[in-house]
A and B are shown apart, each in its own frame.
Chain A
Amino acid sequence: MPLVKQGKIVADGYIHVADDAEIPVDGAALVPAARFLSDPEALLKRSSPTGVIWPNNRDPEELVPYLDRLAVVALVFPSFRDGRAYSQARLLRERYKYKGELRATGQVLRDQFVIMLRAGFDSFEVKKDADAEAFAATVKRYTVFYQPTGDGRITALHQRMQLRHAENAR
């Protein structure tokens, strides 16, 4: 499954640790939420970057004490019809000010790239190779955005205000 990060297909440096597998001493690792919460301080002291795989039915507020030390938060789309992780992403970015990598995992298709970026995701475990390859072209598809989110894109309402002010200033 290709990983897209900063708009490019890259090698995934993280091992996904299964629920019952041992957490490696070295090497970047993504750890399931329950494992992480059982001993977060120890895990965050690992010598390599540590991230957490956070299920979409758990309140991300639980992660707040650790957000400045987590390298990755991986949110889950069990099916692309299940949109709970969009809310989690915006909360993590906009309310809890999480600055690390926010990864979309599960059923991730090109048709969600734009809204995922807008919700705050910056890396994507893409289900299909063709979709990963189409990333750069797909995210340029839209230039107009109606809602303000944490991604900083200017909204249509404010774009109009700017145009209006520019005209008045002329």
Chain B
Amino acid sequence: MYAYDEIDRTLINERVSEFRDQVKRRLAGELTEDEFKMLRLMNGVYLQLHAYMFRVAIPYGTLSSPQLRKMAHVARRYDRGYGHFTTRQNIQFNWIKLADLPDALEDLASVGIHAMQTSGNCTRNVTTDQWAGVAPGEVEDPRIWAELLRQYSTMHPEFSFLPRKFKIAITASAHDRAAIKVHDIGLRIHKNEAGETGFEVLVGGGLGRTPFIGKVIKPFVHGRDILSYVESILRVYNQYGRRDNIYKARIKILVHELGIEKFAAEVEDEWLATRESALTLDNEVVEDIRSRFSYPHYQKLSDTPDELAAASADPHFARWLKNSVAPHQRTGYAIVTLSLKPVGGPPGDATADQMDAVADLADKYSFGEIRVGHEQNLALPSVARRDLPALWRQLDKLGLATPNVNLVTDIIACPGLDYCSLANTRSIPIAQELTRRFANNDLAELIGRLHINISGCINACGHHHVGHIGILGVEKNGEEFFQITIGGRADEHAVVGTLIGPAVPFAEVADVIEDIVEAYLALRARPDELFVQTVERLGVEPFKERVYATR
């Protein structure tokens, strides 16, 4: 965990007091809605279909138990008793009143939580691997760098009014759980020959209506130079990014229009002038931030405790263990994913009671720490393996032990037309129906790893482009239709999926997905050939034939 000091706390409190003044001026009519809009967005406040929506940052996906309890408190006191975890390590509250927002922010500030820059045309919440610090084989803990970048980008005096939003993600593992290739800047931590930490820097990735996979702009930027290098990218973008058309304003369009070589040359020129500056990170400064991340005092424990062997006789437990529990850096410990995708539920939602209960379980079993991943699930990062049976029993009672992590019903979906003012179609009911169709755990296990992503409009908040199966809602003559893509992926082999054919109406989506899955089961070369591998081997044709032959 990163511990805020007096300096960080002061800034958050100053921000809350500024926002309180802005809300007061808005309510008094001193600020027009147009003026207020940019200010509220930079504090995470959207105006949605039915109410204001409030998006709170969970920096690098790490929460302490008191912080999660405070989220529960906000859900209960100011909202309707639940929150929604998003694809960018944020939580959203959907029913909050404008006049209550400053108080909600103040309550969150008391535990070092804020909503700064969770929206607006600025650098958004810097995200990383939800298994940071516990994943076996990671180069080093990426959260140190995420925190340095969080501080650097918070209230930046030059880059608070960029052409468009700006998202940075970091990974330090070979398997990318942070989807860095679909971010404005993606950073992959690795070491040079001297063993020094640095970054492979990618730029210009993104989804939305024009999806691009990020391109490598520099294979190695030394850790001490990362802030000046990021500043150089931002400065080139701030000056030359398009402002005439909101749909062409992201950095991916600038990189695409200039070409990566030209863009890289511009950045390099800029960097030569800023490289030797106060942005250089002395080792001492990095170590100071590192020292304020505390790590659990692990015990020496067995990876194969008796408790685990005994409990594994129960097939329900065994299934969950196989599905939701991952290896940890330390012997005797495990990473446990808590599925927020119950059968029939909206993906990523958690009730206030569930949040409180998870906070208690984190205190009891995971050193008081909780993680939030872009797949809209939670994790307890450091659970002693001997405690897994006891933890499972309690998670199961809470509805948080659905053994579907990474399976067909672990669906990523945007809020869609149920909440969002931009949406063309609903997303959540599609996800709910699919979880019912594939509710049989044996079937889901037979299908294996399969990511379904649903977006209710072209803005792609559900990351449909990079779903193994992507579902995109479009409006046709006032009716909801859905385009289906297959073969996308968001990991280190990121690729945009391919459209299989004409859009299908709302009522047929679940049938179409069932057809695609059945085709895969019939076509796969062997039981462990994953869905995306079959699509890669055979292309979309056989799937297309299966889906449209009878339609």
Contacts and interface: CB of A to CB of B under 8 A. Distances in A.
A160 B7 contact: yes
Contacts of A111: 18, 22, 39
B151 A157 contact: yes
B285 A142 contact: no
Nearest to A120: B157
Contacts of A84: 238-239, 243
Given A80-B161, A83-B160, A141 B14 contact: yes
Interface residues of A, number: 34
A148 B278 contact: yes
A141 B17 CA distance: 8
A45 interface: no
A23 interface: no
B157 A160 contact: no
B218 interface: no
B314 interface: no
Interface string B133-151: 0000000000000000001
B35 interface: yes
Given A86-B161, A147-B156, A81 B38 contact: yes
B14 A86 contact: no
Interface in A100-153: 109, 111, 114-116, 118-119, 130, 141-149
Contact of A164 (B161, B273, B288): B288
Contacts of B308: none
Contacts of B18: 111, 141-142
A160 B288 contact: yes
Contacts of A143: 10, 14
Contact of A90 (B11, B38, B158): B158
A162 to B, nearest CB: 11
Contact of B7 (A90, A116, A156): A156
Contacts of B8: 144, 156
Contacts of B159: 83, 86
Contacts of A159: 7
Contact of A115 (B17, B39, B157, B273): B157
B479 interface: no
Contacts of A164: 288
B38 A146 contact: no
Contact of A86 (B154, B157, B243, B277): B157
Interface in A35-85: 80-84
B277 A87 contact: no
A133 to B, nearest CB: 12
B30 interface: yes
A95 interface: yes
Contact of B35 (A109, A118, A144, A156): A109
Interface string B1-37: 0000101101100100110001000000010000100
Query: Interface centre among B273, B277, B278, B285, by most A CB within 10 Å?
Result: B278
B121 A157 contact: no
A119 B289 CA distance: 26
Contact of A82 (B22, B152, B243): B243
Contacts of A10: none
Interface string B350-380: 0000000000000000000000000000000
A161 B35 CA distance: 38
A142 B156 CA distance: 13
B442 interface: no
Given A130-B30, A146-B151, A148-B278, A83 B161 contact: yes
B279 to A, nearest CB: 6
A150 to B, nearest CB: 10
A148 B279 contact: yes
A1 to B, nearest CB: 16
B76 interface: no
Contact of A149 (B17, B30, B157, B243): B157
Interface string B209-249: 00000000000000000000000000100110001000000
21 contacts: A81-B38, A82-B243, A84-B243, A118-B157, A119-B158, A141-B17, A141-B18, A142-B155, A144-B7, A144-B10, A144-B14, A145-B155, A146-B151, A146-B154, A148-B278, A155-B278, A156-B11, A157-B289, A160-B5, A160-B7, A161-B284
Interface of B: 5, 7-8, 10-11, 14, 17-18, 22, 30, 35, 38-39, 121, 151-152, 154-162, 235, 238-239, 243, 273, 277-279, 284-285, 288-289
Given A80-B35, A143-B10, A157-B289, 15 more contacts: A80-B38, A81-B38, A82-B243, A83-B159, A86-B160, A86-B161, A90-B158, A111-B39, A141-B18, A142-B11, A144-B8, A146-B11, A156-B8, A156-B11, A161-B284
Q: Which 4 A-B pairs have the closest CB atoms?
A: A83-B161, A148-B278, A118-B157, A144-B11
